Structures are given as structure tokens and as C-alpha cells.
Structure 1
């Protein structure tokens, strides 16, 4: 026997008769006509192969099978109601979880404000954070360990859909008390006169910095090489040299004694994007979080324009309010 023909409508009609003991009142509760309710009960009995009610002209009484079936039918309807309410809570952003993967610097600088604002607006939602490198971000998104990823990625990544957030220009960070104090823009060629603190070869930023040196026709000879942007910023603060970093690195330099200048001739930028797994539908919570990420990062640019193009772009324009 298959139960594929038993419907929620039939179960609701059955329970209404059980609880009211009357077909007329049961039909009124269900919002249908009495003939329609009677038909639903007959169809249910035919599917089960047993009568569920003894009918007389004066009263309706459940059979033994009806009494036994009522326990399971009530549980089915209760479970369904809870499931529907739970899914509606997801749709209404009352409950849910967002998993986001992004580079450590963005996680340390931009993300805390975004998460705080998100949970203030949606206190029932939680956020799982993976602060990892670019390859790991792609892996997390592809394999469903992250709903969204944020960063800079090569175009045409297999299984990945991307949404543009902003363009980010490389800028120069220098010791605030050094010889470059007060400089708001600088040609790349001038970098040859200062010790350079660079990221190591596996960094995509390093490759852009090398391209800038090549286009400016100056040798690329780092005085120091580090793995992390935060390490480079700390070394600039210590007066050990200058660093060429993305504009959002200024967020982590808010409390540090470093200055910044726009690099010109050439101007080098990269696209910051938000990625998801191609063909995978985002949950309502992930949609809301993704929208907030784009809004905050785009508003962080001066006047909604390109990050870092204004000479001497400071950190105050990066606030998400």
C-alpha cells in the first residue's frame, strides 16, 4: 500500500471531525462545505482500507481504527506545523546561519563592524567566519563550507559565480614621522629611493607590486618579505621601510603611526568581488548578509567612487555607517 494519495487536507478534515464530533462543525472549522469534508473523509478511509467513523443520524463516533489513527495524524500535523513555522522563521530572518570566508585582513578590519550591524538587525542569526587565504576561500565556497566568499580571485574560476563589489587601488604606506611625511601622492619610480617591505611570492598583491615596478622601470628589490599584511604594516610603523598594499589595509592602520599616499604613474587596481557556488541557492540569511557586505564596502569608498584614487585617501571614509 502506498500513502502517496493521503493529503494534508484529508488529515485536517479527519482531525476536525475527531475534535468536534460533528461533520457540520468540522466543515466550518476547515472552511469548506460539508459535502467536501465528507468526500475527504471517504477518500482517506478508502486509502487506509478501514472506516474511521461510525455514522448515525444523531452522532459521529470514531472507530477503534479512527482512535488509533488520530494519535499519529495529530503528530503528523503538529510536526508539519512546526516545520512550516521553522522555515518561515528562516524566510523572515528570525533564525539561520551564515558562513563566510574571506582573507585575514578583511576579517580583522572590515568584518567585525559588518557582523555587529548584522546581528543587531537580526539577533536570531549567527555568522561563522573562516579567515583564510584565497585558495582556501575558493575551496570553502565550492564544497559548501561557506555560503559566500569575499576577496580578489582570478576570473573564470570553475564552479564559481562572482558579484562585483568595488575596485581597490594599491597605495603606499610609509612611516608618518619619516621623510615622506605629508605626501599624498607619489609616482612609482620614487619607490626606488626607499626600502620596500613586500609580501612573499605566493601573494596576489606581490604580483601586482612587481608589475608596478616593471611598468615604472625600476628594480624590484625588497628589503624585507613577510607573509601577512599586518606584519608589513607593523614594520612600516617601526620605520623599517615602506609598503605597497591595498587601500583596505588602511583600516588596520587606524591606530598606527603610518601615512598613506596614492601611487601614480602607473595606477594599479584590482577587483574585490563576492563569490558563491554556481547554481547553489543562497539562504535568506546569506542573501541578507551578502547585501550588507556590498553596501558597507561600497559606502566605504569616498562618495561611492573608486577606492584609493583620491590622493591621500584616509581611513575615515571606510566607516560603514
Structure 2
């Protein structure tokens, strides 16, 4: 059955007025057009709804019985449209982002605060996880965009580098003789290093940097969470090697010291989005706020955070 709401509205209006001329004016159509719409509905339903004569129009018994059901159908349709519009209004100010933890911590709080001040009723869904899970959420249409630390190879995604951060050593404050303020990669080979797990792009960067020097990276310990690694550093079990943005929230902790790796790896950080996707104004603004946050970090922390290659 192919009956549209407009046909039911015409039927109900005509059932009330029993006047083709008046009903045609109500719907801004000609009487022949109105008559055709009624006939099409009768043909679709397989029943006669009106008895017509040169003098009068009246409902058939079938038409009488169908008016109450038609009113209910139209009412439910209108109610559904209202709910759909309410959901659309919520979605228009909904921002869903996936990000690796270091970016979720260093970038997104400020971005979300700026969006809340500009767009009334803004709602956020933030997913923090591994680089792979972050990208997968974007592929699965669970988020509007992602913040990641490596360009994805997926053909439907595009990557925009917004900054690069250097790797650092987070060491126990007491280990001043073992870990100097500035180190080189070859000096790290025999240190008790603590890295991310194999799911972490941070470990991939470190492993590649060691491999370039003919060394296979074998960390003493590996953890998913930087906070866990920090606990082991505080107990002088090892030294965490992580991107600066990953350890930045921990720099105020007592008993810790940060050391540079002079020739260490530099991690790319960027926005991942679907190619050719049409974004709402609030999502476009969110992307601009991410870029602005990255530029601010570059200005504030030039020793650790570098501009993207394209604008360097």
C-alpha cells in the first residue's frame, strides 16, 4: 500500500467539509486535482470513501469507519515528526569525537569549553582509546572526527596534521646520574624503559627510532595507561618514554623529572575525517578550535611541540 499523509489529510478535510470547492481552496489545489487525489486514495485502499452527486457529497459507510483510524494515523505521524525534529535539534548541537588519551587530555577540554560558550545546548560524546580504536569509531560512523597520532591507510579517510610532539623521558627525580636533562637515543639502550603496549603508536615510534640505529627495542615494562607507568617511575622501577603531550598532565607530580631526547622520535598529531563528508557548522567550528589549540601549544611549548610539516 502506498498512501501518503497528504492523501489522508485531504480525506479528513473533505470528510469534515463535504465540499470539494472549499477543501480544494484549503489545500491550494484545483477541484480536479483534489478529485484525483481522492480517487487515487480510494483505488489504493480498494474501497469507495465518498458518494458524489451533482448536489451533494457524503461519506460511504466505509468512509465513516475509516475517518477515526485516519485521524489516528495522521496524529501518530505528526507526533513522530515532532519527536524526529526534537532529535534533530539535539543532534545539530551534538559533537562526537574519538581521540587518543594524550590528545583527549591536552586538547579537547579547551575545545569543548569554547564550543559550549558559542553554541547553546551543546552536547559532547568523547571516546578516548588506542589509535586503532579511535580510527575504527570514525569508520563505523560513531564519531564526527578523530584525533590520532598516525595517518590512517583507509581509502575513505583523510588526515590533516596539526602539530608534532617530541618524545621525552619521565624519570625518578633521584636518578640524576643515570638520566641527564638531555639524552641521546644510543644512551637509552640499557636503561629500564617503560613504554606503551603494542597497541600504542607511541611504542611504534620508539621501536622505529631504535631500529634505525640497528637496535631492537625491548622495554622493561609496557602499559596501556601512562598513569600506570608513572606509578612505577615514582617507585624507581623504570623510566617512562612517551610523547610530551602524554606526560604533560603528570609534570606537577612530586619526585619526577622530565628529560629531553635530543635525537628522539617526533610524533605526528592530526585530525582524521571522512573524505568529502558534509559537516554541520558546530563540527566545522570544532575542527577550527582543534587547529587553534594546536597552534597555541606550538607557541607555548616550542621546545616540545612543533608545527605541522606543511606549515613549518
Using structure 2 for the length normalisation, give the TM-score.
0.69
- Measure, in 1, the Cα distance between the counterparts of 2:296 and 2:133: 33
Q: Which residue of 2 aligns with 1:300?
A: 293
Change (3 A) 1:306 1:75: farther
Deviates more, 1:103-112 or 1:242-251: 103-112
CA separation of 1:188/1:15 partners in 2, compared to 1, >3 Å: closer, same or farther? farther
The offset of 1:109, in angstroms, is: 5.6
**Deviation string for 1:202-235 (max 9, x for gaps)?**
1321231233345568896756543422223344
Select the residue among 9, 15, 20 that pairs with 1:12.
9
Q: CA deviation at 1:250?
A: 4.1
Q: Distance in 1 between matches of 2:58 and 2:175?
A: 96
Q: 1:268 aligns with which of 266, 269, 280?
A: 266
Report the counterpart of residue 249 of structure 1 in structure 2.
Answer: 246
Q: What displacement does 1:48 show?
A: 3.0
Note if 1:161 corresponds to 2:131: no
Question: 1:41, CA displacement in angstroms?
Answer: 1.6
2:21 is matched with 24
Aligned to 2:195: 199
In the other structure, the counterpart of 1:318 is none
Report the equivalent of 2:308: none
Classify 1:307/1:64 alpha carbon distance in 2 versus 1 (closer, same or farther; 3 Å). farther
Query: What is the CA–CA distance in structure 1 between the aligned matches of 2:50 and 2:70, rounded to whole Å?
Result: 15
For these two proteins, the number of residue pairs brought into alignment is 299
- Which secondary structure state, in structure 1, belongs to the residue aligned with residue 166 of structure 2? strand
5+ unaligned residues in a row in structure 1: which ranges? 314-321
Deviates more, 1:143-152 or 1:295-304: 143-152
1:17-56 to structure 2, matched below 5 A, reads 17-55=14-52
- Of 294, 299, 311 in structure 1, the residue corresponding to residue 303 of structure 2 is 311
Residue 70 of structure 2 aligns to a residue whose secondary structure is helix
User: In structure 2, do the counterparts of structure 1 residues 223 and 176 end up closer, same or farther at CA, with 3 Å as the change threshold?
Assistant: closer
Cα distance in structure 1, aligned partners of 2:149 and 2:139: 16
**CA deviations over 1:146-167 (Å, ceiling 9, x no partner):** 665542356424x752442534
Query: What is the alpha-carbon root mean square deviation over aligned residues?
Result: 4.5
CA distance in 2, matches of 1:250, 1:208: 16
Q: Which runs of structure 2 are paired with 1:118-133 in the superposition (5 Å)?
A: 121=119, 123=121, 125=123, 127=125, 130-133=127-130
Aligned pairs (5 A) from 1:192-231? 192=188, 195=191, 197-200=193-196, 202=198, 203-215=200-212, 222=219, 224-231=221-228
The reply to whether residue 65 of structure 1 matches residue 62 of structure 2 is yes
CA contact (8 A) 1:103 1:134 kept: yes
Q: Cα distance 1:246–1:200, how it changes in 2: closer, same or farther (>3 A)?
A: closer
Query: Which structure 2 residues correspond to residues 115-154 of structure 1 after superposition, within 5 A?
Result: 121=119, 123=121, 125=123, 127=125, 130-142=127-139, 149-153=146-150
Superimposed CA distance per residue, residues 220-254 of structure 1 (whole angstroms, 9 cap, x where no aligned partner): 67565434222233444566664332232145326
Secondary structure of 1:68's counterpart equals: helix
Q: Secondary structure at the match of 2:272?
A: strand
